[in-house]
Structure 1
Amino acid sequence: MKIGILNTGNIGSRLARAWVAAGHELVIAQDGDYWNLEPLLKELGEKARYGTIREAAEFGDVLLFSVYWPRLEAVLEAAGDALNGKIVIETMNPLGVTEEFVHYHDLEFMKNSSTAETLQSRIPTAKVVKAFNILPAPTLEPAAWKDNPVKPNIFYASDDAEAGKAARGLIVDAGFTPLNTGELKSARAIEQLGVLMHRVANHEYNGDETLIRLGVSVIQAQPGPIFRENLV
């Protein structure tokens, strides 16, 4: 599969490694000059090359829209109409930032929308999928979970069955187990799960820095539930 990564940062670089290892071809781009991608390109080898945001969008049958939420408009402008008709997997969280550069979840925005729905409204002919926004980047590698009996899930949502199927395959190729949450509107619940993870990190563990160690998974009971007669 041909994949364009629109902004190859902490998340995009890790998924790039996994997807090249799975045999996919990549064009990786970045929003600004925040990263030196030469070491990553050498690591990825001949299956990947650098391009502008526009070139990555034109190249990919599937696009990874791994963009800092406040930079949404800038990246959309850079990609232009190359996003039209594409499967677009977006990893954003609705984060605001203070003048002191402290990030926070925009809870007011989250009441009635999601980054995925906003992106879909901005590129209506594209097929947007929500995924890869819950796991912190340092845990978006199978090696981070090699000694864990339970592996984390990647939740995804889309209004398009073809796009959901493509995302599901790429989640598996990245080394995780996909969980389909249904229509794109379900992205609201996925993003709100991120808020819950922050609260768990703060109140159950040692503070917010613990978040980079946390994942979430749905576990099926084996052999199954134990049913008993109701007591009257």
Structure 2
Amino acid sequence: MKIAFLGGGNFGGRLAKLLTKAGHDVVVGLRDATQSHSANAYRVMSLEDAACHGEIVIVAIPYQACANTLPSLAQFLVGKVLVDATNPLRDDWSPLPLGESDSAAEVLARLLPSSRLVKAFNTIFADIMVEDRIERAGHPVTAFIAGDDVAANAVVAHIAASAGFAPLITGHLGNARYLEAMAHLNIQIAVVHGGGTNAAFVYHQARD
């Protein structure tokens, strides 16, 4: 599939490499495409060109940059699956309160109503986005997914599985509120309590 990233930081770059290795046609859009490194396994281009290229577009820029960046790309994102991998954070990684009845994903859905918005990958640290850390003792890291478009959710589940994650569709987009809370908890464990960023959630379902 044609997958585009908006933003190529540590998180976006690592997930882009995984999806490239899985056989997808991956590009990464940057504000300044001259920042590209020749060793990248994927192509780097402008944000506009990346948004045009992707059938699936993954938002990997900081949440606080979305309001200024995404509206100018809206015309290129009409009808496309738009994956929100952001978390509402301040610069110091502390939560940016949106209230109990809202989430970053729902904010972006209102910002880009013509896109098919899905929340995914936000509970996974960049340090886990390497092949030898995705699975532990036969239990792959869970990629939690939430969205109102059933077909779009299935597409995101497919690409998550292709990268080695265990996709779990949690239901409607409102459940992004819980996924973002999980990310905040993960950050608390990792940063405040010294657990480190080489850990992730695994949803384990016992079998009879």
1:128 aligns with 2:117: yes
* Residue segments in structure 1 that go unaligned for 5+ positions in a row: 225-232
1:104 aligns with 2:98: no
Identity %: 27
Separation of aligned partners in 1, 2:190 and 2:27: 35
Specify the code of the residue in structure 1 equivalent to 2:16. A
In structure 2, what is the equivalent of residue 118 of structure 1?
107
1:38 aligns with 2:25: no
Task: Give the length in aligned residue pairs.
Answer: 208
Cα 1:15/1:199, change in 2 over 3 Å: closer
In structure 1, what is the equivalent of residue 80 of structure 2?
86
Q: Deviations over 1:78-114 (max 9, x none)?
A: 42411111100110001123xxxx231023x142211
The answer to which of 169-178 and 22-31 deviates more is 22-31
In structure 1, what is the equivalent of residue 197 of structure 2?
212
Separation of aligned partners in 1, 2:59 and 2:187: 23
* Aligned residues: CA RMSD: 2.0
1:162 Cα shift?
A: 1.5
1:150 aligns with 2:139: yes
TM-score by length of 2: 0.91
In structure 2, what is the equivalent of residue 12 of structure 1?
12
What SS is found at the alignment partner of 1:95? coil
Q: Deviations over 1:107-162 (max 9, x none)?
A: 3x142211110001011110001001111101122311455443220100010012
Residues 10 and 137 of structure 1 are in contact (CA less than 8 Å); yes or no, is this contact kept in structure 2?
yes
Q: 2:50 aligns with which of 43, 48, 56?
A: 56
Separation of aligned partners in 2, 1:191 and 1:27: 26
Separation of aligned partners in 2, 1:121 and 1:86: 15
TM-score by length of 1: 0.82
Give the number of the structure whose alpha-carbon radius of gyration is greater.
1
In structure 2, what is the equivalent of residue 229 of structure 1?
none
What SS is found at the alignment partner of 1:213? coil
